Chains A and B, each alone.
Chain A
């Protein structure tokens, strides 16, 4: 089976993030594999171990992404591809990224493509479905279980806490939700072997992509951090009055009703 994983290098949103001049400061930020893509990598390895084939992990980014790709190889992926856009593009949005990925994948005859449900930085959840659309194949998002039998695929997907079972067939793109699996730690022998595994580096030229093809359709208006959590307030007095005040505050202060 020919398996591809779409992987993004993102900053760790659990670490401190500093914004300067409307941009997230990259110096000092911690960079990781997008956590949902980790589920995708793990699932791809499990599918390969069960059904045979090859797992190729693809990332669009700059040279720094090599570390995350090597980590995926250390987990057990077979090959990695870095599409380096550093010299060609200043900005890239989901539609552009999806276009690049689809151009790369279109003649690779993928049986299964796995991506993360969302990237924790942008949080759009669009890249996976857009790639499937451009390739003209089926897709299922936020999956928590994947069963493959020949060409038939049974997928459980998370729908806001409930489960939906979908039957479909290969070729297929799925996006991984938390709960799909427990991603493995890259083992020591895995890390040592990773440096010998193939990592291909491509630029837009190699894919015959013009900068105009991937022009951003999104305009960033403002970048800001969520407001600091302020201290809570404890209401006092008769229970009846407290409830009244609470309802009042929810209307006037919190403005959630």
Chain B
């Protein structure tokens, strides 16, 4: 056992913290207020190699590990939850599936520019009638000659408005047992018939770009099938396993931001003639916050370490995501409580953290779905 980060991991942490403090945090409130996507920040992150952390150099990446990636997500999310979500989605959902399931040609064409930070990619699974039950996908793709013709609708797709391509899941047939065959297809966003609208008015993560995609007779060549055409379903389950580590890391980052603000505020706010941090009621809240964040971070690192060491990590990733998102909600809620009426005001940022963290209990599998995954993996 060794709980120490490596020198590289520490250097990455320091660099990303520094970058996020100077380049992301000062603009977070503005992006939240106006629900604008910080594309310039993504260009800068790309130049620094941040969008390619977990991919090898031969594919334009930085050759880092999952722990380093989780560290980066935490630091970015601490500065701005919305930027953190888009960052995590770009890597875990946009780029990773192509790295894990793509052909060499697909990697060169789609992954390399993403890893270098020149383009962004999205992952389109959710539909109006298929959320937790992603097997209920209704989007269809029909093979005609050498092309798939795709029809359907996707919703709440992160980064689609800035993506060069979207990985779309679609039904391509039925198995003998009657279950749908789901195939993943790489769909360029400029293909005729692709309509993308990004005007959801969200509660939180408002700096993140979230879009609806309508696909009308969209034609993509057969080569754009990602991985095994019959195993699209298990592929996205695997993709989500990895993504959960990043949502857990993001939860830790947002919670850390709220906690630090609450601790500082508690020491500065005087009531009844002393700082409120002298009241045991407040101290216990802060102690719980510090403890829960530490535990969640440990679980994030453990899941990431398992993944880096090619060991099964699905259960731990689900546990990390479930625990971190729920503890994050508690922490952000208590951070507002400690701020009293001030916490209810936008000026103090803690209300934004609470709005941002709520998504972590929903996206990439709701808390209920995480419990389903864990139950299955412990043999229920």
Contact with A188, one of B7, B18, B48 (Cβ below 8 angstroms):
B48
Given A185-B19, A185-B48, A192:B14 Cβ within 8 A: no
Chain B residue with the shortest CB-CB distance to A66: B7
Given A185-B15, A189-B49, A67:B64 Cβ within 8 A: no
The answer, yes or no, to whether A186 is at the interface (CB within 8 Å) is: yes
Chain B residues, Cβ within 8 Å of A195 = 7-8
In which size bucket is the chain A interface? 10 to 19
The answer, yes or no, to whether A13 is at the interface (CB within 8 Å) is: no
A to B contact number (C-beta, < 8 Å)? 47
Chain B residues, Cβ within 8 Å of A155 = none
A137 to B298, CA, bound (A): 53
Q: Which of B50-58, B132-140, B147-155 contacts A (4 or more CB under 8 A)?
A: B50-58
Chain A residues, Cβ within 8 Å of B63 = 189, 192
The answer, yes or no, to whether B345 is at the interface (CB within 8 Å) is: no
Are the CB atoms of B62 and A192 closer together than 8 Å? yes
Are the CB atoms of A188 and B50 closer together than 8 Å? yes
Residue in A70, A74, A186 with the greatest tally of chain B CB atoms within 10 Å = A186
Are the CB atoms of B7 and A186 closer together than 8 Å? no
Report A108 CB to chain B, min CB distance, Å: 27
Contact with A191, one of B11, B18, B19 (Cβ below 8 angstroms):
B11
The answer, yes or no, to whether A60 is at the interface (CB within 8 Å) is: no
Chain A residues, Cβ within 8 Å of B15 = 74, 185-186, 191
Chain A residues, Cβ within 8 Å of B7 = 66-67, 70, 195
A-contact bits for B1-35, CB 8 A (1 contact / 0 none): 00000011011101100110000000000000000
The answer, yes or no, to whether A180 is at the interface (CB within 8 Å) is: no
Contact with B64, one of A70, A185, A192, A194 (Cβ below 8 angstroms):
A192
A187 to B50, CA, bound (A): 8
The answer, yes or no, to whether B47 is at the interface (CB within 8 Å) is: yes
Given A70-B7, A195-B7, A188:B14 Cβ within 8 A: no
The answer, yes or no, to whether A127 is at the interface (CB within 8 Å) is: no
The answer, yes or no, to whether A71 is at the interface (CB within 8 Å) is: yes
Report A194 CB to chain B, min CB distance, Å: 7
Report B113 CB to chain A, min CB distance, Å: 16
Given A187-B48, A188-B53, A70:B19 Cβ within 8 A: no
Report B4 CB to chain A, min CB distance, Å: 13
Are the CB atoms of B19 and A188 closer together than 8 Å? no
In which size bucket is the chain B interface? 10 to 19
Are the CB atoms of A191 and B57 closer together than 8 Å? no
Chain A residues, Cβ within 8 Å of B19 = 185
Are the CB atoms of B48 and A194 closer together than 8 Å? no
Q: CB within 8 Å of B: which of A63-108?
A: 66-67, 70-71, 74
Chain B residues, Cβ within 8 Å of A191 = 8, 11-12, 15, 62
Are the CB atoms of B8 and A189 closer together than 8 Å? no
Chain A residue with the shortest CB-CB distance to B22: A185
Chain B residues, Cβ within 8 Å of A190 = 49
Chain B residues, Cβ within 8 Å of A67 = 7, 10-11
Are the CB atoms of A187 and B11 closer together than 8 Å? no
Chain A residue with the shortest CB-CB distance to B63: A192
A143 to B63, CA, bound (A): 38
Are the CB atoms of A188 and B12 closer together than 8 Å? yes
Chain A residues, Cβ within 8 Å of B8 = 191-192, 194-195
Chain A residue with the shortest CB-CB distance to B51: A188
Chain A residues, Cβ within 8 Å of B49 = 187-190
A-contact bits for B199-210, CB 8 A (1 contact / 0 none): 000000000000
Chain A residues, Cβ within 8 Å of B48 = 185, 187-188
Are the CB atoms of B18 and A185 closer together than 8 Å? yes
Report B297 CB to chain A, min CB distance, Å: 19
Report B189 CB to chain A, min CB distance, Å: 26
A70 to B49, CA, bound (A): 17
Chain B residue with the shortest CB-CB distance to A195: B8
Report B327 CB to chain A, min CB distance, Å: 26
A74 to B50, CA, bound (A): 14
Chain B residues, Cβ within 8 Å of A71 = 11, 14
Question: What residues of chain B have their CB less than 8 Å away from a CB belonging to chain A?
Answer: 7-8, 10-12, 14-15, 18-19, 47-50, 52-53, 57, 62-64
Question: What residues of chain A have their CB less than 8 Å away from a CB belonging to chain B?
Answer: 66-67, 70-71, 74, 185-192, 194-195
Could you jot down 10 A-B contacts, CB within 8 Å? Answer: A67-B10, A71-B11, A185-B19, A186-B11, A187-B49, A188-B12, A188-B53, A188-B64, A189-B49, A192-B63
**Inter-chain pairs besides A67-B11, A191-B11, 7 sampled, C-beta below 8 Å:** A71-B11, A186-B15, A187-B62, A188-B53, A189-B49, A189-B62, A191-B12
